[in-house]
Structures are given as C-alpha cells and as structure tokens.
Structure 1
Amino acid sequence: MEKQDLVYVFLAIGIIAVMALVVKPIATGEPLNLFGTPEPEPTVAVPVTPPWEGRITASATTVAPTPTPTWNGVAQSLSFVDPSTYHVDLTQKMPGMTPPPSGNMPNTTWTTYASIAGQWSGTSSIFHIPTPYWRLDYANIVPMNEESPLFNLQVMDADDPNRFVKVINLNRQDFANYDSTNSTAYRKEQWNCKFYEGYRNYYLVINTQCITSYDILVQVPTSYV
C-alpha cells in the first residue's frame, strides 16, 4: 500500500471518530464533551428556613358554648342517690351552723319545680335552678312523736361541694304541740327558705330521726314559668 493510501485511511478513521463524538450527542440531545472534561453535577435547590421571629403562632380554635338547661314547666321528682357520690357520710354529726337570712324577697307566687319525699336520711340527685331566685318549702314534716324528732336539711352547691348554701335544723322544740290526729295541723308557713341566687346546680342532704315522713318542695317564681 502506498503512503498516500495510508494517509487516506487514517483520515477516514479520524472522520469516523469525530462523527461518533459530535453526531451521536446531537442526535440524542446530550451536551457535547469534546475534551472529556467531567460534566457538572445538577444543581438541587435547598429550601430556605425562614428565621424565627421569637413568637409561637397557633391556629384559632372555636369552643362550642355549653347549652343552658331549660325547663318545660312540669315539676320533676328528685331521686335519692348513694351519698358517697358527693363524699357525704350520713353517720357523722350533722352540721349546726345556719347562714344569715337571705334578705327581703319580693312578694311573689310560687310554682313547684321539683320535689322529694321520704322518711329516712338520704341524698338527692342534682337539680338545676332555671330562675334568678327560688324557694325551698319543707313544711310537710311529720314527727313520729314529740320526744326526740330531729330533721336536718343541708342545701349544697353541686359545683362546689365544700359550700353549704343553707343548713336547716328542726328539733324537739320545733315539733312541740304537734297534733298527730290532724295531718295538716303542723304545716307552718315559716318553714321555707328563700335564696337570692339561681342559675346554679344544687343537691340536698337530709338527716332524720323519729320522723314519719317529709315532703320537700323546690319552688320557683310563677312569673318565670
């Protein structure tokens, strides 16, 4: 082979090599790399954390208001519950303190809102007063005899069990001259207690001794019914 032929052969080989380096990347869309330098790594965006402003933000929440119990005008009957529900021990000595009188109450007529009747010691269920003031009527108490009757009634704040709203004590002197032959003879109008507070929850603690029966009425002003 002549020298000129070898030149053509090497020239052809060079053209083929250049075509391989240029044409293929163009056809495939790849970047040209004629000098074999390493391709740069793709740039990845790094999220930037905003600086802390020194305060904590919280999303607003909406608290649903607690519905206020309503009364349909029909007197309810209070039930007896286990005294341990309110941590009451009926075997302990009964409290003897009596808070000062509530003050003057406007003249009004009364409607029975709730009642409880019985003979023995016990604790009532919780009741809610739907009016700004109310009255407790405990006139219908029948003693077994005149020697040793005893009746103790404690009005308790159900939202604060350590608060005695009112403590009522009736003993032998209060039951003097009771006529056992007349069931209505012992009803005393002064045996009621008025409260200048309402819209609260209460329960009753009752202690009896030598009592045949009692009937306690929770009453509210008729004008609110």
Structure 2
Amino acid sequence: MILPSGISLLDRIMNGGLNTGKFTHVYGEAAAGKTTFGLQFAVTMYRQDAGTIYINSEATSPVERLEQMTGRSFNDLDPLVKIFLPKGFNEQGALIEDLELYIRDNTRLVIIDTLTKHYRLALEDKKTNYVNHRELNRQAGVLKGLAKQRDIAVLVLNQVTSRMNGIDDFEPVAGNILDYWSDYVIKMNIGKSPGERLV
C-alpha cells in the first residue's frame, strides 16, 4: 500500500508516497523541513481515518503545528494521532520495544522525529558509546520488523553532522546504521530562495 502526502509534486517525486512495509529514512539540516514533511503525512492519514504514531524527541511539540495544518484541536486528532515524548535514549528504546502495543488495526504510519536526538546526547559519555551504537541498531531493527510484520510505513527523521572530507556539507547521523535498515533514503536541503526546500 502507498500512503500519499496529499501534495501532488511530492507524491510524484516519491512514486506515490510512503510504502507500507518499508523503512524510509529522511535526513537534512535544521530547518530543512523534515518535521513538516512528517506531519504532512500524519495529516493526510488523519483525513483518511488512518492512524499515526508520532514519537517526538525534539524540543518543540508537534501539537500546535498539527492543529494549524488540520484546523482542528488536538482533542479531535487524538483518536487517530498518538504522540509520545520520550525523555531519553533508554526511554525511547523501551517505547520502541513496546510499540506494537499501541498499533491498532487502522494504524498505517509510525514517525520518529528524530531517532538520533537522544542517541547523540548519550554519545557524550564515551564510555558507553559501543553500547549506544548497539542500542540504536536494535531500535532501528525493531522498527524495520514492525514495518514488515504489521504492514505499516515507518518514517525515520534524522539529524545531520558535518563531513570532514569536503565532498559534501553534511551527512546523516549514524548513517551506516540507518543505511543498513533503510528501504528508502531521502535527503532534504534548504533552497536558495526564501521558503524553498529541496528533496
């Protein structure tokens, strides 16, 4: 099944939208539009009476933006859009481990915004880096398994880090881990014109 974004140009670029049963990895610099990209799919799912699970680790809550995009209060959205706010990397891992408990028959989409925020903070303790790498790999593997087993689309939004070799200006955080699990990878950039975003 293909889940459309509801934006015709974007859906054409993505061959119709997000594929269920697949893991899509989207990365880009701050303000490139990753969160809006994810929320657009959540809004379209809501309008189709399909459920979305939204795991948010970023500082800004998506609730106000969802209300703006739908013209509805979050109380109206809540039956179909479930938002979780893990406070740390271990809490995020526990939530992903138990995610199947929250998936309903009408759930079509799981969004993680962003999978690597708490991971990066955990890496500040260099003594546990190996454990944290393994844990991120495990979380991504659980998400990929859920996508296949429950035929849902998993959309993982990701932060970036600067490259040192000068070939490009940035690369995804934990790119090697996420590339292994990803079926599709999308890079987002800020365009040269005001408000322009490149996919």
Which of the five TM-score ranges fits, normalised by the shorter chain? under 0.3
Larger RCO of the pair (alpha carbons < 8 Å, separation 6+): 2
Please, what TM-score do these two structures have when normalized by structure 2? 0.24
Structure (1/2) with the larger strand percentage? 1
Please, what TM-score do these two structures have when normalized by structure 1? 0.23
Structure (1/2) with the larger helix percentage? 2
